[in-house]
Chain A
Amino acid sequence: MTAYALRRLLALVPTWLGISLFAFALSTLSPGDPAELILGRQLDDPPTPQQIEAFREEVGLDDPFIVQYGRFVAGAARGDLGTSFRSGEPVFAELASRFPATLAIAVPAFVVAFALALLVGVISAVRRNSLIDHASRIAALLGDSVPSFVLAYMLIIVFAVNLGMLPVAGRGGPEHFVLPVLTLALATTATLMRLTRSSLLEVLGEDYVRTARAMGLKERTVVLRFALKNALVAVVTVAGLLFAGFVTGTVIVETVFAWPGIGRFVVDSIFDRDYAVIRGFVVFTGTVFVLVNLAVDLLYVRLDPRVRLMSERSTGGR
């Protein structure tokens, strides 16, 4: 298992390198001289050419691209994402300090999205072409088509402005969590809902399900005990895909609801032309992305004995 985990991790390294290369190459395209930008914020007077020259020398801005990228990757691998132009603090610390706020809405939203997807997905598979099935199909279409910021504002208009039940934005008591979590969950659940439905339908056509039914087991037992368990393997794997929806969702939701997480921080940094933070954010998200994928891979191995046996065989069985 450990050997398998290591192998999966190694397989994800090229992706991580690709993301970090993208982030680094992009930052070299930023308009203006970074030395001037950074010094301009650190010093009270405009920097002199000598100061700029000395700074370029010190930070290594005149080194060839590949050398600078190598230095950046070596640093990033150790958790050093450079220094924020704006605050002078390490970018990693800035992001890490805001990450809990992001998780505070992302984790409950994930739970809600997953529960909703299972519930509606199972019902619409078992009761095909029922009202719920049709409703979930419409919900999936809307989930793919309505931008999450539009969804967020619609929820605000209904629940905060018209009904006055919930706060419009900001962070505070539990009532502040409702709309951001709901937006994020609704925006991501649709795909998972349809996937649960289709993989359950597939499993329901299998021989062992027919056998279970032929043995006279209750339909409820057949669906929940036999079919769902197997259908879930596919669903859990794709939960990794939800990651993209969540990153996108948190950036938008945090902007709409003025939520102090990393998504809003990076949007603020864009307007501050804090390129170090933009670059750091891409690498940070890339790292989380790689870890989530690794976790999903390993979960998959645990859930599906066929994959488990295969991975043990190929790593020597130990």
Chain B
Amino acid sequence: MAAEMTTERHELTAGIGAGQPARGSLIRRLLRDRLALGGLVLITVFGLGALFAPLLAAHDPLTIDATNRLAPSSWEHPLGTDQLGRDTFSRILYGARWSLGTAAVATAIVIVIGVAVGLVAGFYGGRLEALLMWIVDVLLAFPSLVLYLAIVGTLGPGLKNVMIALICLSWVAYARVVRGIVLSMRERPFVRASRALGAGNARLMVRHILPNVVPPVVILASLQMGGLILALAALGFFGLGVEPPTPEWGTMINESRLFLQSEPALMIWPGLAISLTVIGFNLVGDGLRDVLDPRLGDHR
């Protein structure tokens, strides 16, 4: 959905050309949006938690304490302990490292791939474009969880294969958006003028098209971070994600399924962590969209 919304119009940013609104005002506008601000706070909290997990966590997330299993919350263990006596709070903190870290690395990689494919498809056109856009259409149209399950189910569980799946499926949204922008800009007077002055494709792409690609890519990245965290969690929930002793939120939920009736809290904390992080990214994504490209927002 996000992809379709962002492909529609880039006239606003395009009209401004390469001259973006001053950076200060952009951030100030984003901060004035209370929902986006709330989202930013959520992301910051979990981000700092991930960054400083070793300092904030009183316990090692992997240390098993058989004498202290399923303990209720206390000063020592703010969120209690799990079925193996591991401190839940520490596991949630370290879990933020896995969720945010994996999603951030995957996002960085897919932005590079997606933008490159989009630029190439938009600029060179022809059969190459048709082939690339066919792949994009197929992968975007189809329910992504089925494809995630198919990839990880075939290659086997574990971080490496999860990463492969995330990367294989997530570049397509960027490619479609970027291609749309290239197509809308290719024939603009300033691009044609630059070409007439002897600029080659590479120079046109980097100097004139790339700056206009940034705003929609930033919006998409924020919205997609949420999607990647959800995908990672879902694979973990199926038992196909990062392998068990690792404190990954989806994997934690999978492990706590056996204790659903006696210890629902074991499931609630990681569930809350996933939901709040994704809410954060979605709010910031929506806020960014309103600030960078107001025409794309829904009728608020």
Instruction: Name A residues whose Cβ lies closer than 8 Å to a Cβ of B.
Output: 14-15, 18-19, 22-23, 26-27, 29-31, 141-142, 144-147, 149-150, 153-154, 156-157, 161, 168, 191, 194, 197-198, 201-202, 241, 243-245, 247-248, 251-252, 255, 266-267, 269-271, 275, 278-279, 281-282, 285-286, 289
Contacts and interface: CB of A to CB of B under 8 A. Distances in A.
Contacts of B138: 14-15, 18-19, 22
Nearest to B155: A29
A270 B241 CA distance: 13
Contact of A26 (B154, B156, B279, B282): B154
Contacts of A150: 253, 267, 271, 274-275
B226 interface: yes
Contacts of A241: 1
B271 A154 contact: yes
Interface in B246-270: 250, 253, 260-261, 264, 267-268
Contacts of B28: none
A244 B230 CA distance: 15
Nearest to A274: B153
Given A23-B150, A31-B156, A244-B142, A144 B282 contact: yes
A282 B260 CA distance: 31
B240 interface: yes
10 contacts: A142-B275, A144-B282, A154-B268, A157-B267, A194-B298, A243-B143, A255-B237, A266-B153, A269-B153, A278-B153
B268 A252 contact: no
B10 to A, nearest CB: 21
Top 4 closest pairs, chain A to chain B, by CB: A18-B138, A270-B153, A150-B271, A244-B143
Contact of A145 (B145, B267, B275): B275
A29 B151 CA distance: 9
Interface residues of B, number: 44
Interface in B265-293: 267-268, 271, 274-275, 278-279, 282-283
A266 B147 CA distance: 12
Contacts of B151: 26
A255 B153 CA distance: 15
Contacts of B23: none
B299 A198 contact: yes
A292 B111 CA distance: 31
B143 A285 contact: yes
B134 A14 contact: yes
Contact of A157 (B268, B274, B283): B268
Nearest to B148: A248
Decide if the interface of chain A is mainly helix, strand, loop or mixed.
helix
A14 B298 CA distance: 32
Interface in B45-67: none
A297 to B, nearest CB: 13
Given A150-B271, A255-B238, A285-B143, A145 B264 contact: no
B92 interface: no
A76 B18 CA distance: 50
Contact of B134 (A18, A29, A142): A18
A149 B260 contact: no
B238 A15 contact: no
Contacts of A267: 149, 238
B149 to A, nearest CB: 7
B149 A266 contact: yes
A247 B146 contact: yes
Nearest to A125: B299
Contact of A156 (B156, B253, B260, B274): B260
A310 B253 CA distance: 52
Given A244-B144, A267-B149, A267-B238, 5 more contacts: A141-B283, A145-B275, A147-B230, A153-B260, A266-B149
Nearest to B267: A153
A247 B230 CA distance: 16
A213 to B, nearest CB: 19
Contact of B141 (A142, A144, A157, A289): A289
A285 B278 CA distance: 27
A161 B261 contact: yes
Nearest to B297: A198
B146 A282 contact: yes
A145 B279 contact: yes
A161 B233 CA distance: 24
Given A141-B279, A145-B278, A198-B299, A161 B260 contact: yes
Nearest to A267: B238
B170 to A, nearest CB: 15
Contacts of A161: 260-261, 264
B167 to A, nearest CB: 15
B298 A270 contact: no
B234 interface: yes
B137 interface: yes
B135 interface: yes
A77 to B, nearest CB: 17
A241 B1 CA distance: 9
A16 to B, nearest CB: 9
